[in-house]
Structure 1
């Protein structure tokens, strides 16, 4: 099951698990659509893999399978 991280690790924008707007790589590095496309051109700055749209978790399942609450931030030069 995806961790569904709650924020963009670049700009720290909130990314709800039941809403569109998050991009992930195969290691679940998580970015908002703006940072993924404008800062990183769709390529994960951590692993070099492609960033794709993260699936949306159905709102009705969040009680049983909530998203992560651990916020991840990394010091990417493009995010300063």
Structure 2
């Protein structure tokens, strides 16, 4: 089950579970659309994988399986790709 991480690893922008701006790789590294497209060129700086739109979990299921509250912020990994 996806963690639905709460923020962009590059710029720390909030990405709530229903965000249409969240992008993830197969390891669930999470980025906002702006960083994913402009800074990272559509590829994860951690694994090199493709960044795709993160699926949104229905609100009824969020009550049962809430999104992660753990923030991951690693701007140093993103700056090297700019």
TM-score computed with the length of structure 1 as normaliser: 0.92
Unaligned runs of 5+ in 1: none
Which 4+ runs in 1 deviate beyond 3 A? none
Q: Report whether the alignment pairs 1:41 with 2:37.
A: no
Displacement of 1:77 after TM fit? 4.6
Change (3 A) 1:49 1:77: closer
> Any unmatched runs of 5+ in structure 2?
none
1:15 and 1:77 map into 2 onto residues whose CA distance is 17
Aligned length: 79
1:7 aligned residue: 7
